[in-house]
Structure 1
Amino acid sequence: MVHLLLLVFFCFSGFALLLPLSPQWAVHGGADEFGAGLVTATLMATTVLAQLLVRTALRRLGWTRTLALGALLLGLPAPVQALGDSLWVILLTTALRGFGFGILTVCGSSATAALAPPGRRGAATGLYGLVLSVPQMVLTPAAPALAAALPLPVVLACGALPVLALPFTRGLGRAVDACTGAPAAERAATGGDPTAGVLRRILLPLVTLLLVTSAGGAVLTFTPQFAGRPASAVTALFLFTATAAVARWGCGVLADRFAPRPLVCTLLVGGGAGLALVAVAVRSGHPPLAVLLAGLVLLGAGYGGLQSITFVQAFDRAGPGNRHTTSVAWNIGYDSGTGLGSLLLGLAAQVATFSAGFAVLSAAMVLVAAVVLTAGNGPRGKGTGPAGDPADADPADRGTRPSLSDH
């Protein structure tokens, strides 16, 4: 676990640092808002593609080499990106970084499940999620301030931090190989119901996740552009990511005790209200900081909380025999939403304004909340209680089901 947590810390530090800076670097080179949004969209698109290919990589390369490949792909393109601010260079290096990130997200969550002691998978997953949240809480908000204090290429080059994770790949790979036999893992991963049936059961949680991560991706990408002063951008991003981290942990606990529908509806309506406040705040060139921060806190609660709740809800609906399919679908929904939100808000800003884009997202959240409120409990998987409620799930499944998201 120590090797895993150190690897994750260095890799996600490099990812979190460049998440708001690569789009800013594209704007520095002359790209418009759509071009800036395209950077994050490219990152998430290649992340999703890599997630679909990880099983093949593990089969052919093994755990140690696959982990090393992910760290190198995530880290080495950062100094290359710092050499030039043309959009095609930024998109190419960002695409390579997305492949590395996709490998590490799947491998990290799988390794956590494999290394957790019997009966403590929830604790191990919580620790893993905490280590993931720290770089995003600290480095993503600090990135605009670092870029203002130092030459932007210097800060971009620090995105090579994942390379420092290489010493931990061998020990982690050997530990996972010792805990799981590859043939047994392959047999377990191919069991379960047909994929189409599983996706039908978890469709509503995935749509909810896609919407809230679209809003989060838009905020993480464009806050340096619409927040005004660098200090305002730092404060806004810190409050957003810190609120999301706390809500992610707290709602993961609540999802095991209460029915998901009231929690989902409350968080969607709160997130929609937060987006409406953000839309009002960014209408002017100098957004009122208090209104902007209030909106981002409300949105952050929905962004973090719905990640955990939709993950638990999807697992309950899919049933214990379909964990692999559910996990892959959830991760793809998360990353697709992040990229889609950045792309669409950049397009909205180019055609109209940032304010208009946030207003549309706000209306979409309220609409989905109404759908969730009026929808039935949905098809249930094996091991799920009579109301689709996590509290009624099979106790045997509760001992093995992750309580937080894979990210």
Structure 2
Amino acid sequence: MSEALRHSESSPSGRPRLVGRHLALVFAATLASLTGFFLLMSVVPMYARDGGAGEVGAGLATGTLMLTTVLAELGLPRLIRRFGHRTVLAAGFLLLGLPSLALPASDGMPMIIAVSLVRGLGFAVAVVATGAMAAALVPPERRGEGLGLYGIMTGAPSVLALPLGVWLAEQVGYAPVFVAGAVLSLAALAALPGLPGRTGTGGTDEPAFGIGAGLRSAVLVFPAVAFAATSMASGVLITFLPAVTGLAAGALLVQAGTATFARWWAGRAGDRHGAGRLLLPAVAVAGVGIGLLVFVPAPAAVFPAMVLFGAGFGIAQNASLAMMYEKVPLSGYGTVSAIWNIGFDGGMGVGGAAFGVAADQAGYPVSFALTAVLIFLVLPLARRR
């Protein structure tokens, strides 16, 4: 980031200001684009299931969405360096919003998969580019707190839009929800004219810290993989909770709300005591939470499970990301954002697709138990280094 931009993000007293004008615009674009995304996140698998595709089809709807998300994230650091954040974000918001308008035309799997593949490209841009900009625009000494606030901006859409999309689809049908999701994602374009074309994460005058170097670094990959295991469970919940309990809207609201608060709290705690102390217990708590779902559809199991999983998931989000940013120069922020989001989105995609196959063969309780076991298996990767 340039010195001029750093100065513009400082308060008159000299104390580092957490949120300046540019970061506020990043937050606005994040809120709008991800609200549109999460409004459809559980609805599209429901649409596939109601169209006759069954559990495997519902899992494929999430899996294909995350497939192109992960593939796009591999190339985004280079694209951001070449074209700048603003241009890349504009293309991403268009790819995220416009394809949703085609969904009312057909509930067949070819249409659902085609739309999901394109929307995955847009989603990759929305999370990687905004995440890298947010990390560059907060003062380093307040990075955890800033990432926690950014986590609220990314978590609030899931808190509100995930259960709202399920409820609206049941009340007014699928087509209005698809249109609303498209409009919200496209509204993020309004924030772009006020953003800088580049921050320090995209300047071509800096030495590149590319995705290849990042993927060879254990201090980046290990936290990302540990977090990816919890993200895998999140993809399972988003895709299949509406199928296993009539309390899905309320349960998703509790899970997303707990995760958002936990992510913010972890940012403040990590700045004071170190983010590395938080990751291992967070992953363990998430595993316990998902393990409780072997008792679904009992309400006494669903809501405690959502609280525990949400807390572990939210803390793991912030702790893993803060640990990774600590290990790279400013020019590597785009790479860190990409690798972390690959873990996030790849985990969600694998979780949704694999769980659909497992549930079809062994049933939901066994599949939830297997998911918990996989989370516990990655605990050694979550140790502080």
Which of 286, 299, 303 is the aligned partner of 1:293? Answer: 303
Could you state the TM-score of these two structures normalised by the residue count of structure 2?
Answer: 0.85
- Contact 2:155/2:260 (CA < 8 Å) preserved in 1? yes
Q: How does 1:185-204 map to 2 (within 5 A)?
A: 185-188=203-206, 190-191=208-209, 195=213, 198-204=216-222
Contact 1:189 1:324 in 2 (8 A): no
The equivalent of 2:265 in structure 1 is: 250
Is contact 2:41–2:238 with CA below 8 Å preserved after alignment? yes
Give the secondary-structure state (helix, strand or coil) at the position aligned to 1:188.
coil
Aligned to 2:105: 83
Distance 1:60 1:7, change over 3 A: same
Q: Counterpart of 2:52 in 1: which secondary structure? A: coil
**Structure 2 runs not aligned, ≥5 long:** 1-21
Secondary structure of the corresponding residue to residue 85 of structure 1: coil
| Partners of 1:84 and 1:189 in 2: CA distance | 47
Residues 274 and 347 of structure 1: CA distance in aligned 2, closer, same or farther (over 3 Å) = same
Counterpart Cα distance in 2 of 1:352 and 1:181: 46
Match of residue 266, structure 1, among 278, 281, 285? 281
How many Å apart are 1:328 and its aligned residue?
2.4
CA distance in structure 2 between the aligned counterparts of 1:59 and 1:191, rounded to whole angstroms: 10
Q: Which amino acid aligns with 1:345?
A: F
**Deviation at 1:250?**
1.3
Instruction: Find the partner of 2:52 among 30, 35, 38.
Output: 30
2:18 is aligned to none
> 1:125-136 residue pairs with structure 2 within 5 A?
125-136=147-158
1:314 matched residue in structure 2: 324
Give RMSD over aligned pairs: 2.7
Relative distance call for 1:272 and 1:109 in structure 2 (3 A) is closer
**Selected match of 2:226 from 208, 211, 222:** 208
Q: CA deviation at 1:269?
A: 2.8
| 2:292 counterpart letter in structure 1 | L
Structure 2 vs 1, CA of residues 129 and 270 (structure 1 numbering), >3 Å: closer, same or farther? closer
Distance of 2:360 and 2:285 partners within structure 1: 27
8 A Cα contact 1:198 1:318, kept in partner = no
Tell me which amino acid in the other structure corresponds to 1:5. F
Work out the CA distance in 1 between the residues paired with 2:163 and 2:271.
31
Match of 1:207, SS state, is: helix
Between stretches 312-321 and 358-367, larger displacement belongs to 312-321
1:82 Cα deviation after fit: 2.1
Deviation at 1:180, TM superposition (A): 5.1
Q: Deviations 1:340-370 (Å, cap 9, x if unpaired)?
A: 111111111111112111101112223333x
Partner SS state of residue 190, structure 1: coil
Distance in structure 1 (CA, Å) of the matches to 2:55 and 2:127 = 28
Size of the alignment, in residue pairs?
362
Residue in 1 that maps onto 2:19: none
Cα distance change on mapping 1:82 and 1:218 into 2, 3 Å: same
Are 2:28 and 2:191, in contact at CA under 8 Å, matched by a contact in 1?
A: yes
CA 1:159 to 1:95, structure 2 compared with 1: closer, same or farther past 3 Å?
A: same
Counterpart residue identity of residue 224, structure 2: L
- Point out where structure 1 has 5 or more consecutive residues left out of the alignment: 282-286, 378-387, 389-407
For 2:328 and 2:85, how far apart are their aligned partners in 1? 28
Describe the shift of the 1:60–1:203 C-alpha distance in structure 2 as closer, same or farther (beyond 3 A).
closer
Separation (CA, whole Å) in 1 of partners of 2:186 and 2:79: 19
Q: Is 1:328 equivalent to 2:351 in the alignment?
A: no
3-state DSSP of counterpart to 1:186: coil
1:23-68 Cα deviation digits (max 9, x unpaired): 1111111112111111111111111222223344445654443222
* 2:242 alignment partner, one of 193, 202, 224: 224
Q: Decide whether aligned partners of structure 1 residues 320 and 14 sit closer, same or farther in structure 2, where only a CA change above 3 A counts.
A: closer
Give the match for residue 15 of structure 1. Answer: 37
Amino acid at match of 1:226: V
Between the aligned partners of 1:372 and 1:191, the Cα distance in structure 2 is 23
